[in-house]
Structure 1
Amino acid sequence: MANKVENNYKVNPEKVRLETDQGIAESEERKWGLPLKDVYKHGLAFYKDKEGKALHLSYEDRLKLVAYTQQTSHGPLDVNSAPPLGVLDVIGRDRRAAWQALGQISQIQAMAGFIHTLDRLCPLFKPYLEAIQKDLEDKKQQELKKEEEERANLELQNRIMLEKQKQQSTKITEEQQVQRIKDALNAQTYEQFLQYAQLQYPGNFDQQAILIRQLQDKHYQQYIQQLAVDQRLANSNIKDAADDKENDNANDKEKEVKDEPVTVTDCNLNETGDVPSTDSKSMQTTEKTETNEYIEEPRVDENTDDEEGFLSVEAVRMWTRGDIVKFKSSAQEGGGRLTVGHGETITVRVPTHPRARCLCWEFATDNYDIGFGLYFEWSKSPTTEVTVHVAESDEEEEEEDEEEYPIPDGTFHEYTIHGTRVDPERGCRRERPAAGTARPLTSLVVPVYRRDCHTEVYAGSHTYPGEGVYLLKFDNTYSLWRSKTLYYKVYYTQ
């Protein structure tokens, strides 16, 4: 026996002997997959629940299991300290005898003995324990899943908090930038606004401060909107330049035009002279005013075919601004004031200029709205001078009475565009020539709609689609009794 123990020791000197409590506990845990104490606890509960029902044991087996439980709970039996038994307590004597027969085994050994005996006597114990083990694993998995969800929620909350902090920081930075812009603008305009406020409310400092604050806020909004308009115009110019590079002849012509000073022409006045700027800003007033820009898509006359050589018409850029009183005064001084009678249509014919690339216009009225539309006539005009025509519509295309209005440069119309009876509220589709007459092809750029130009100045610009004549129509045919006073300006710009 000694040799056998010695040989085992040489094979694995670090192995814990099974006779020790630690070795027994580790062996049982490997076998059942649970700690020994947990297996004993579940085994004892199984025995108490199933004994007499699914479990039927002999008297000797029950004595042995009870002895193991007593040894586990109280240790080895001490006869001197044990309470005395009755004379007729036969079961008590048998139990003490079985307990005393276990001798000095430890609690670990008693628990292992109870489990082995129960497993040997009841085949249902092992599946029962496996079910408990699986249930514990499921609970553990659920706990792990719950911990992962809580960790994910915590990470999400932290991410949301960081994003909110970042947005708050960005908002603070934007607010600081806005405040710096406002401070710079206020520093430039404070004296001007102060003088204006003193004229409006002399001696009333509170009202002056309120008015100055309102003017400063409005000036900031106008500045931001003007930047947006300038950016759109710059992008449009870049796109036009890229298109021009595709044609060599257009490239050469562009270089020749850029070598010469550009003449900006106010069609209400005479030529203003040579200016070095070519940035399409001559259509804007010297003061930055509040603008609301929008784009109206053109519609081409169905008679215009690609085989005729006509190019497509680009969209129109249109906006409004609020300095209507100053605009009316400036337009009237330049001769841009007309009266559109009730039931009449005024057509302003503006030929394209050979040294310009864009047409710009502004208009306003007194007290009431008016219809406005824009057409492009694909015809070569022998002159670049602007003419104004008045036409009155009658029933069944009767011949109209026409009037000619000279403009300040002394020119008169050479070609009359007749009015129509189309309601400006529904818009106008296209120009229809009179029967039996050869009329140039016309593209609809902006449909005729009623514009609230009595409340703000309407302005717009359009890039030349080619050589021809622009027709600016101011339609008052829907008004049966009321005439309209029109103020307008027309510009050429590159």
Structure 2
Amino acid sequence: MDQVESRLSDMSIVSNDETKWGWSLTDLYRNALSFYKEKAGKAVQFTYEDNLKLVAFSQQALHGPITSVELPPLGAFDVIGRDRRVAWQNLGTITKSQAMEGFIDLLDRSCAAFKPYVEAIKKDREEKERLAQEQERRRVEQLELERQQEISRKLLDEQKSREEQQKRKLQDALNQQTYVQFRAYAEKQYPGNPEQQAVLIRQLQNEHYHQYMQQLHAQISTEKNEKIDAAEQSNGDAVATSGTASTIATSNHLNLSPKENSQCDDKEECESDQDSDGFPPIAPAQMWTKPDIEQFKTEVAAGKGEGIIKVGHGDIVTVRVPTHEGGSCLYWEFATDSYDIGFGVYFEWGKPTSSEVQVQVCDSEDDDEEDEDEVELQQSNDIESGGNGPTSPPSPVARFRPPISSVVPVYRRECQMEVYVGSHTYPGEGVYLLKFDNSYSLWRSKTLYYRVFYTR
């Protein structure tokens, strides 16, 4: 007993709060006791003396010294029971912590598999802790992400609310500008039916708003590109810069559909704007679309066939519509069967010589020759360009050609998908030139359905 107490007194005393092999003493003892119960007599064989000591250490760790426990008497033939009590008595008054450490040290000396077993449990515990920390980190990140998303949703809702308010204000302003014309058109389409008229007016107002926004975005993009191009040009490109500024001015003047806001690439259009000097400025046209294309074609075909034209490939058809003395506004509608077509509107100033609507057809080559004649005429009258100046007589065509103003630049319209509709208030007496341009098509002819009328 003295030897056992002496050996235990030499051991390093470890309290329950201290660690051993990276474990607290209580947890390490608990794992050691589980190992002993599972392996003893099965995977691991202990000597009889070691078994007695291990049992004694476990009893001391559980109950304390044997003198503090009331034990039942042993039988006469219970040799193992007496040996265990003797081993327990030999531990004397060592503390429970000392008994736990003694159990662990003896188990480590007696079984080489014990320490690897404990290390494996430790690694498993560390892995679980790592996974728990990772899960907690992910949970915190998810909470932060949800918080950021909630902030973004609030900001987006506020932005949408502001945009919706701006949209309503813009729609109200546009509706005030177009209500009279749209009402006149609706009364023409549904006479004596106020409900259908109101539905059509709302539809036209919505389509007008969307076209206006598309035009606005296209205009901003065009101006941005033109500024970039102007910055890249050298100081010697003054003529090109002047042409760009003229294009921007024309684009800003027309404030309806983006299709009307295209650059003035056609020479006749640009020259027409120059020829109209001295006349009142042209107000912008109104343009929108409506989806009932088949009904429109049926209505046009039900007439005398005057509203159906075959526009050949490479051709440009001009429909001349004179202003009417009893009217104040021109309306037009058009659509095609299968393919798009270019469309533009011009106004020829002067008193009309006829009240009849006329259709003129020319191919793109004839148009180019006419433009070349006009350029030669301008050069012959321009002393700075090397012409003969006033001594060169102008041609009769140039001398008596009425001035022309651009109302809607020629631009390709997807009129095979929906009916394109527009209106323009008379700027004065003259002839409207509705141009249907198929000059870009080398092979396809287009079947055009159109209708024009005026309102008071």
TM-score (norm 2): 0.55
Please give the per-residue CA displacement for 1:133-159, whole angstroms capped at 9, x wherever unaligned. 222222222222232233333333433
Residue equivalent to 1:288: 286
* Separation in 1, partners of 2:205, 2:237: 49
Change (3 A) 1:218 1:84: same
Aligned residue in 1 for 2:15: 25
2:215 is aligned with 1:215:
no
* Partners of 1:24 and 1:108 within 8 A in 2: yes
The reply to whether residue 43 of structure 1 matches residue 32 of structure 2 is yes
Match of 2:177 in 1: 188
Deviation at 1:108, TM superposition (A): 1.6
| Residue 388 of structure 1: aligned partner | none
How far apart, in 2, do the equivalents of 1:380 and 1:199 lie?
41
Matched, 1:61 2:59: no
In the TM superposition, what are the counterparts of 1:151-162 in structure 2 within 5 Å?
151-162=140-151
Partner residue, 2:277 = 273
Equivalent pair of 1:339/1:485 in contact (CA under 8 Å): no
What's the CA shift string for 1:30-65, capped at 9, x where partnerless? 432101111111111222233234533332222121
Q: Over residues 328-348 of structure 1, what are the superposed CA-to-partner deviations in whole Å (9 max), with x where a residue is unaligned?
A: 89679599954449xx87722
Identify, as 1 or 2, the structure richer in helix. Answer: 2
**Secondary structure of the corresponding residue to residue 277 of structure 2:** strand
> What residue in structure 2 maps to residue 106 of structure 1?
95
Letter in 2 for 1:190: Y
Q: Give the counterpart letter for 2:285 in structure 1.
A: E
Task: Measure how far apart 1:26 and its partner are.
Answer: 5.8
Report the Cα distance in structure 2 between the residues aligned to 1:232 and 1:171, rounded to whole angstroms.
Answer: 23
Counterpart residue number, 1:71: 60
CA distance in 1, matches of 2:38, 2:419: 94
Letter aligned with residue 25 of structure 1 = S
Q: What residue identity is the alignment partner of 2:86?
A: A
- What is the DSSP-based 3-state SS (H/G/I as helix, E as strand, rest coil) of the residue aligned with 1:86? coil
Question: Relative to 1, partners in 2 of residues 1:68 and 1:82: Cα closer, same or farther, differing over 3 Å?
Answer: same
Query: Which residue does 1:129 correspond to in 2?
Result: 118
Q: Distance in 1 between matches of 2:420 and 2:113?
A: 95
Q: Residues 193 and 215 of structure 1 are in contact (CA less than 8 Å); yes or no, is this contact kept in structure 2?
A: yes
| DSSP-derived class of the 2:93 partner | coil
Structure 1: unaligned runs, 5 residues or longer: 1-17, 258-263, 292-321, 353-376, 386-405, 412-445, 459-471, 488-494
Residue 247 of structure 1 and its aligned partner are, at CA, apart by: 0.9
Contact kept, 8 Å, 2:333 with 2:421, in 1: the verdict is: no
Give distance in 2, aligned partners of 1:253 and 1:208.
46
CA distance in 2, matches of 1:288, 1:182: 15
Offset of 1:213 from its aligned partner?
0.8
CA deviation vs aligned residue, 1:397-445 (integer Å, no higher than 9, x gap): xxxxxxxxx979657xxxxxxxxxxxxxxxxxxxxxxxxxxxxxxxxxx
Q: Aligned residue for 1:382?
A: 376
State the 1:476 CA deviation: 11
Question: Retained in 1: the 8 A contact 2:288–2:420?
Answer: no
Mapped to 2, the partners of 1:350 and 1:33 lie a distance apart of: 99
Amino acid at match of 2:287: T
Tell me the distance in 1 between the aligned counterparts of 2:125 and 2:78: 43
Task: Using the TM superposition, give the Cα deviation of residue 212 of structure 1 relative to its aligned residue in structure 2, in angstroms.
Answer: 1.9
Matched, 1:348 2:356: no
- Tell me by how many angstroms 1:183 deviates: 1.6
Question: Deviation of residue 181 (structure 1)?
Answer: 0.8
Q: Which amino acid in structure 1 is aligned with residue 366 of structure 2?
A: T
Answer yes or no: is the 8 Å Cα contact 1:63–1:98 preserved in 2. yes
> How do residues 353-432 of structure 1 correspond to structure 2 at under 5 angstroms?
381-384=375-378
Number of residue pairs aligned between Structure 1 and Structure 2: 328
Asked whether the 8 Å contact 2:61–2:97 carries over to 1, the reply is yes
CA distance in 2, matches of 1:64, 1:220: 96
Distance 1:159 1:59 in 2: 68
Residue 173 of structure 1 pairs with residue 171 of structure 2: no
CA spacing shift, 1:168–1:119, aligned 2, 3 Å? same
Match of 1:138 among 127, 140, 144: 127
Tell me, in whole angstroms, the C-alpha distance in 1 between the residues paired with 2:108 and 2:449. 112
Question: How far 1:223 sits from its partner (Å)?
Answer: 2.1
2:261 is aligned to none
Amino acid paired to 2:50: D
Cα 1:270–1:97, aligned 2, differ >3 Å: closer, same or farther? Answer: closer
CA distance in 2: counterparts of 1:244 and 1:80, whole angstroms: 106
Structure 2: distance between partners of 1:200 and 1:272: 34
Alpha carbons 1:40, 1:114 under 8 Å: kept: yes
Amino acid of the residue matched to residue 324 of structure 1?
W
Aligned equivalents of 2:288, 2:36: Cα separation in 1: 92
Gap regions ≥5 residues in structure 2: 1-7, 247-267, 290-329, 335-343, 380-395, 402-409, 423-436, 452-456
Distance 1:38 1:276 in 2: 100
Q: Secondary structure in 2 aligned to 1:57?
A: coil
> 1-side partners of 2:269 and 2:140: how far apart?
71
2:332 equivalent to 1:324: yes
- Shift of the 62–334 alpha-carbon distance from structure 1 to 2, 3 Å rule, reads farther
CA distance change for structure 1 residues 245 and 51 in 2, over 3 Å: closer, same or farther? closer
Specify which of 75, 81, 91 is matched with residue 92 of structure 1: 81
1:240-261: CA deviations, max 9, x gaps?
755775218759999xx9xxxx
- Give how far 1:484 is off: 8.9
Is this contact kept in 1: 2:13–2:98, CA < 8 A?
A: no
Q: Distance in 2 between matches of 1:222 and 1:121?
A: 91
Q: Is the 8 A contact 2:204 2:288 kept in 1?
A: no
Task: Report the CA distance shift for 1:275/1:214 in structure 2 as closer, same or farther (over 3 A).
Answer: same
Identity fraction in percent? 37
Residue 225 (structure 1) aligned with residue 244 (structure 2) = no
> Partner of 1:433 in structure 2?
none
Distance in structure 2 (CA, Å) of the matches to 1:275 and 1:241:
31
Q: Is the 8 A contact 1:269 1:334 kept in 2?
A: no
Deviation per CA, 1:223-269: give whole Å up to 9, x if none: 22332454455456646755775218759999xx9xxxxxx989789
Per the alignment, do residues 129 and 207 of structure 1 end up closer, same or farther by CA in structure 2, a change over 3 Å counting?
A: same
Cα-Cα RMSD = 5.3
- How far does residue 210 in structure 1 lie from its aligned partner after superposition? 1.0
Match in the other structure for 2:430: none
SS in 2 for 1:289: strand
Query: CA 1:325 to 1:52, structure 2 compared with 1: closer, same or farther past 3 Å?
Result: closer
Structure-2 change in CA distance of 1:197 and 1:110 (3 Å): same
Cα distance change, pair 329–81 in 1 and its aligned pair in 2 (3 A)? closer
Q: Quote how far apart the aligned CAs of 1:220 are.
A: 1.3
